[in-house]
Structure 1
């Protein structure tokens, strides 16, 4: 009874957090760009697994590396400008949440981000000589390293635009004969001017006073610590624990906390992809595909293991019938049929392995990666990619990752089985 009262209190708070306009805008902004990120990841995989002249599948073909230019073009137009794209999509979604024009919000999100970027950058030419260039947007600014600033700038810029836009004194009234679309543009003119002025003044002041720029400050004090916290075993285990603890109480943990965790892990995977493309060592262990491949196999709680354990050890007719319904979705990492149909949520017996199993699989995968037993993830694959296949693809074709997934599933089944047997005794 006390547990139900606690759930009744925490459920509205969790739902309120997940539905908070800024959190939702980040989540929906990234969801909009999923096709672009998957397409780019596909070409990274092709370039390195198939077209690589050193160890690709077609390395024996003369001049095969020239065709890598196709994938590079796609990469430059997708992940290479991901910060610009995310500034637009978050601005668009946030503006809609304020009941404002989404297109204007997307444009303002993009403008806010670019206004924060340095006016000049230092480039190195083919001879190694450094030159200063103005009006240049490099991939250092527009890809993964600029994504965190893009999120902040879009959120602040569109929020300010909405607040200023509600001040009647700042609106330019146009005659009724003027078309509505033009009148709307003039209504937002002064608020947009003020937003850009604020961002521009802040950037210039930082350059003059501190001899640095906003992107460098953001990377140093915010982005690097956040990404770094997820790269520690303790940091990622805390995230996995909280996600599955919420699942145990009927709350969609990966949905609620994903708005915080996924942008950080997407930044990490793009840094790995950039390093792979440049032929450098991959910097990050924990990425979005790492979590998908080793912590969310079958969905939250590594539920593919429960599905197998139920086939092996369950004597309950209701469990076995529900398991037949949920097995196919679970193969594609959709856990809801089993999670809510069995149910696993609000089930004090199955809640224990639901929380423990992902902690165990994540820990083993973390050490296996850090010790070099499997390659680091460097390809962003769809989260619905079935286990075993997903490990191979996400690690750029490392078969050992698939073997590890098989081992982890076996371990997870062993963790779930005793609790499945307990449910048998509970039934009878």
Structure 2
């Protein structure tokens, strides 16, 4: 079974789109890890509803100038890493796609940047003239569309561009020649980008941002139907695997609506949340037990990697990502591993949250586990979300730990498949190098 699964995943990874996407995300790993640390600092320390800010009362300890300076720096670094991540992704996706077909990768990347920026401009025009670019297409939570743009531009260069052989040292005349022969595919790429941008502008399409998924997010937050919660969880986790993280991130914080307010009011009146009117609210169930603030699968994978110690580079990445992932800042590892658009992790990312939620729902039904109803501070570790969400119930502390151990055990065969694929790819590369010699 492992061999069969490894063959399927290996075949998918050999497709040009997945090849280019994996290379792109790995290349952007330093930016993602850096952004995850600044996101961690902003959420924990420099946000008024952050965990450390409230625990240590930083509003009374830190002087205003220091706090505002820290908030400015951390917010700014998050913006230049995650806020415009789509620009970096489109550039490298186009480059690696063009490289597969031995086309001019640099010019392909530049064309992709122009296309993604124009589409972002078209999406923002007519809404707020003070903001020339919409953040939806450029943010890390919408990286999927940036990868698609980069891949399409790379394919245009594949079809219309000339073969471009790499040289160790290139003079000005050579660069000028490359630029001229790339004019046709670049012009066609820009024309296609303009057409797409005009369609966005004329139809006022809601491109990939949180507003695009309002109906989905609203349904997740308000449904108390367990079957519907399971179905919506599949949609949200699948979107997250694709690189569209808006829905999952939208339900990772404190949710305020009539249903959560009624649950909280009941808990405050009765001193506990055992018999609240809405026991299976999607936002509460997914965030508390399915995704555990978005950290459950990522943190479990990191633990498995550190336990197995099979690849030093990936182990180093896991060590660097352990601290932010523990506090629900998981994008650094998700991009650097990468987990996004990795065929190996599509089933674990979808199925493990389902298993966690089904077990949690069963425990709630059997009156073993209380319902999470209390507000959660930003940066709260994913495993501790149920504990704080139930106002310190010890069963709600032990139960997520059991779920986490179960996730680690279920991920072991998946990681073994990944290691097997890497060994096969390394052997193939060594064989190709020896054949050339």
Please name the residue that 2:38 is paired with: 43
What is the RMSD computed on CA atoms of the aligned residues? 5.5
- 1:399 is displaced (CA, Å) by 11
In 1: Cα distance, 2:408 partner to 2:140 partner? 38
Which position in structure 2 is the counterpart of 1:89? Answer: 92
**Candidates 19, 22, 26, aligned match of 1:24:** 19
For the 8 Å contact 2:142–2:246, the answer to whether it is kept is no
Report matched runs for 1:296-307 at 5 Å: 298-299=300-301
On the 8 A contact 1:87/1:153 being kept in 2, the answer is: yes
**Higher RCO structure, 1 or 2 (CA under 8 Å, sep 6+):** 2
Deviations 1:99-129 (A, max 9, x none): 3343333222212212323448468xxxxxx
Residue 154 (structure 1) aligned with residue 123 (structure 2): no
Q: Does 1:34 align with 2:29?
A: yes
Shift in Å, 1:359: 5.0
| Equivalent-residue separation in structure 2 for 1:229 and 1:14 (angstroms) | 33
After superposition, the Cα gap between the structure-2 partners of 1:229 and 1:407, relative to the gap in structure 1 and judged at 3 Å, is same
SS at match of 1:116: helix
Shift of 1:219: 5.9
* 1:356-414: CA deviation from partner (whole Å, max 9, x where unpaired): 977533545799999446849x66xxxxxxxx977469x99999799967534436768
User: What are the superposed Cα offsets for residues 24-72 of structure 1, whole Å, 9 maximum, x if unpaired?
Assistant: 3223322333332332332233233223456443221331531311111
- Inter-CA distance 59–298: structure 2 relative to 1 (3 Å threshold): same
Partner of 2:190: 196
Matches within 5 A, 1:171-250: 179-205=173-199, 207-208=201-202, 210=203, 212-213=204-205, 216=206, 232-234=229-231, 236=233
**Maintained 8 Å contact 1:43/1:71:** yes
Summarize the alignment of residues 271-290 of structure 1 with structure 2, pairs less than 5 Å apart. 285=286, 290=292
Residue matched to 1:247: none
In structure 2, distance between residues paired with 1:414 and 1:145: 28
The answer as to whether partners of 1:147 and 1:267 remain within 8 angstroms in 2 is no
Q: Secondary structure at the match of 1:137?
A: coil
Paired residues for 1:302-317 under 5 Å: none
Corresponding residue for 1:109? 112
- Deviation of 1:193 (Å): 0.7
Change (3 A) 1:81 1:286: farther
The verdict on how the C-alpha distance between 1:53 and 1:228 changes in structure 2, with shifts beyond 3 A counting, is: closer
Q: CA deviation at 1:296?
A: 5.6
Q: Could you list the runs of 5+ residues in structure 2 that have no partner in the other structure? A: 165-170, 222-228, 255-259, 261-282, 323-349, 410-437
Counterpart for residue 59 of structure 1: 59
TM norm structure 1: 0.55
Q: Distance in 2 between matches of 1:23 and 1:190?
A: 26
Cα distance 1:36–1:69, how it changes in 2: closer, same or farther (>3 A)?
same
CA distance in 1, matches of 2:101, 2:72: 42
Distance in 2 between residues matched to 1:358 and 1:131, nearest whole Å: 38
Match of 2:243 among 253, 261, 264: 264
Q: Is the 8 A contact 1:294 1:365 kept in 2?
A: no
Closer/same/farther in 2, CA of residues 371 and 298 from structure 1, 3 Å limit: closer
State the Cα distance separating 1:74 from its structure 2 match: 0.8
Structure-1 residue corresponding to 2:434: none
Gaps of 5+ in 1: 124-129, 169-176, 241-256, 308-322, 335-354, 380-387, 418-428
TM-score (norm 2): 0.54
Q: Which moved more, 1:80-89 or 1:27-36?
A: 27-36
Give how far 1:165 is off. 0.8
> What residue number does 1:337 align with?
none
More deviation, 363-372/13-22: 363-372
8 Å CA contact retained: 1:95, 1:162: yes
